[in-house]
C-alpha cells in the first residue's frame, strides 16, 4: 500500500516537472550558450573611403553576426572622430587619422589596431576638362592636415605652382565645387565618385599619387584593455570580410552597386568593375600597415599644422612613436 502511494506520488512529481519544463521552455532557452546576447558596438565611417566597403560587407553578409557582434555603422566626418571615440559615442573608426595619431603621440589613448590594405588605393588629382598642371589656380581639399592637403601641397611645391589650396569642409562638398568651377582641381581617393567624374563627367586625372597612405581601424586604449576579446573578434570579422571581397567577385560587385547607391547602367557597370579590381588587388588579409604608410602617418602627425613639405619631411619617426600610435597585437 505504501509502495503504491509512493509510486503515485513519484509519478505526479514527474508529470509536474514535465509540465513546468514545457511551460517555461522559452525562459530556459535564455541559459543556452547559443542564445547569449551579442556585443553591441558602434563603428564610425566615411562613405568615401575604401575601408568602409569592408565594414558594409561584414554587416550585409552576416560576418559580424558570426563573431557575436551586433554592429551599428555611423556615417561621420573624420574631423569629429577623435572626440566621438573619447566620448564613447563610437567604439571604432575606419579611416586615415593623422589627428588621432597626433593625439596618441601627445599621450592620448587612441590606437590603430589594424590596416586594411597591402597596397594603398591611389589618391588622384582630378581637374576641369582641358586644364593642365600649369593652369591650376585653386585646388580643393576636404580638411587641413589630411592626406588630400598633404598631396595638394606636394603637387604645388614639386611643380612650382602658385595655386591656392581651399578646404571644402567635407568630401561631399568638394565635388560640387569642381562641378560648379569654383575650383580648378581636387585631390581625392580613387573611389567610385572619382571614377564617375572621369568617366561620366569628362574630368581629367592629372596625377595618380603613389604615396602609401593606408586606412586603419581605430579604437581606444580603454577598449583594448577592458574588452580585448571584443577587439579581437572585430579585427577577425573585418579580415573575414576582406577575404570575402577577394574570393567572391560577382557578389561583391553587386554589393558595390548598393554600397555606392548606383543604378545598374552600362557606365556604372564599368565603374564598378574597375573599382572592384582595384579593391581586390589592394585589400590585404594580414591586417598590418606597410612601413611607408606608418612613416607617412607619423610624419604628418608630428608636423602638426604644416605649411611646407619640409615641415613634414624633416620629421623623424622613432620606435616609440610607432608604439604610441599602433597596437597590432590582434593581427600578429
Of the three residues 152, 174, 208, the one that is the final residue of a domain is 208
198 with 94, same domain: the answer is no
CATH number, domain of 268, equals 3.40.190.10
Same domain, 218 and 96: yes
pLDDT of residue 6: 45
Task: Please say if the pLDDT value at position 315 is more than 70.
Answer: yes
Q: What is the pLDDT of residues 125-178, one digit of tens each?
A: 999 999 999 999 999 998 888 889 999 999 999 999 999 999 987 777 787 888
Count structural domains, the chain. Answer: 2
- Residue-wise burial string across 186-217, b where 16 or more C-beta atoms lie within 10 A, e elsewhere: bbbbbbbbbbbbeeeeebebbbebeebbbbbb
Residues 137 and 150 in one domain: yes
* Residue with the larger pLDDT of the pair 105 and 238: 238
Whether 85 and 167 map to the same domain: the answer is no
Percentage of residues of the chain with pLDDT beyond 90: 58
Does the model's pTM come out above 0.75? Answer: yes
Residues 95 and 134 in one domain: no
Let me know whether 134 and 249 are in one domain: no
How does pLDDT run across 191-216, given as a tens digit for each residue? 887 887 777 778 999 999 988 887 89
Q: Which helix (H) or strand (E) holds 124?
A: strand 123-127
pLDDT, average across residues 301-313: 92
Q: Look at residue 74 and tell me whether its pLDDT is greater than 80.
A: yes
Beta-carbon-side half-sphere exposure of residue 15 (alpha carbons within 13 Å) = 6
Closest CA to 312 of 149, 189, 163: 149
Domain endpoint, select from 190, 208, 226: 208
The whole-angstrom separation of Cα 197 and Cα 200 is 6
Q: Give the domain range for residue 137.
A: 123-208
Domain boundary among 208, 228, 245: 208
Amino acid at each position: 500500500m505504501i509502495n503504491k502511494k509512493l509510486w503515485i506520488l513519484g509519478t505526479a512529481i514527474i508529470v509536474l516537472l514535465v509540465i513546468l519544463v514545457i511551460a517555461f521552455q522559452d525562459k530556459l532557452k535564455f541559459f543556452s550558450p547559443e542564445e547569449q546576447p551579442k556585443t553591441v558596438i558602434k563603428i564610425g565611417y566615411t562613405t568615401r573611403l575604401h575601408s568602409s566597403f569592408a565594414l558594409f560587407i561584414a554587416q550585409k553578409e552576416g560576418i559580424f553576426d558570426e563573431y557575436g557582434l551586433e554592429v551599428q555603422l555611423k556615417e561621420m566626418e573624420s574631423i569629429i572622430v577623435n572626440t566621438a571615440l573619447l566620448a564613447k559615442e563610437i567604439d571604432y573608426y575606419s579611416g586615415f587619422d593623422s589627428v588621432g595619431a597626433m593625439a596618441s603621440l601627445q599621450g592620448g589613448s587612441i590606437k590603430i589596431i589594424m590596416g586594411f590594405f597591402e597596397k594603398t588605393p591611389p589618391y588622384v588629382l582630378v581637374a576641369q576638362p582641358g586644364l593642365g598642371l600649369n593652369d591650376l589656380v585653386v585646388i580643393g581639399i576636404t580638411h587641413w592636415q589630411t592626406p588630400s592637403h598633404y598631396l595638394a601641397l606636394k603637387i604645388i611645391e614639386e611643380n612650382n605652382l602658385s595655386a591656392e589650396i581651399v578646404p571644402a569642409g567635407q568630401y561631399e562638398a568638394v565635388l560640387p565645387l569642381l562641378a560648379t568651377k569654383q575650383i580648378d582641381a581636387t585631390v581625392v581617393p580613387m573611389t567610385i565618385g572619382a571614377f564617375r567624374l572621369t568617366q561620366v563627367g569628362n574630368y581629367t586625372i592629372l596625377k595618380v599619387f603613389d604615396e602609401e597612405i593606408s586606412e586603419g581601424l581605430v579604437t581606444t586604449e580603454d577598449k583594448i584593455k577592458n574588452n580585448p576579446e571584443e577587439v579581437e573578434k572585430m579585427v577577425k570579422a573585418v579580415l573575414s570580410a576582406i577575404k570575402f571581397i577577394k574570393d567572391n567577385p560577382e557578389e561583391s560587385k553587386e554589393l558595390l552597386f548598393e554600397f555606392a547607391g548606383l543604378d545598374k547602367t552600362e557606365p556604372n557597370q564599368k565603374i564598378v568593375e574597375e573599382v572592384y579590381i582595384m579593391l581586390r588587388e589592394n585589400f590585404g588579409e594580414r591586417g598590418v600597415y606597410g612601413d611607408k604608410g606608418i612613416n607617412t602617418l607619423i610624419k604628418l602627425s608630428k608636423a602638426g599644422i604644416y605649411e611646407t613639405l619640409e615641415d613634414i619631411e624633416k620629421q623623424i619617426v622613432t620606435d616609440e612613436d610607432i608604439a604610441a600610435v599602433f597596437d597590432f597585437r590582434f593581427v600578429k
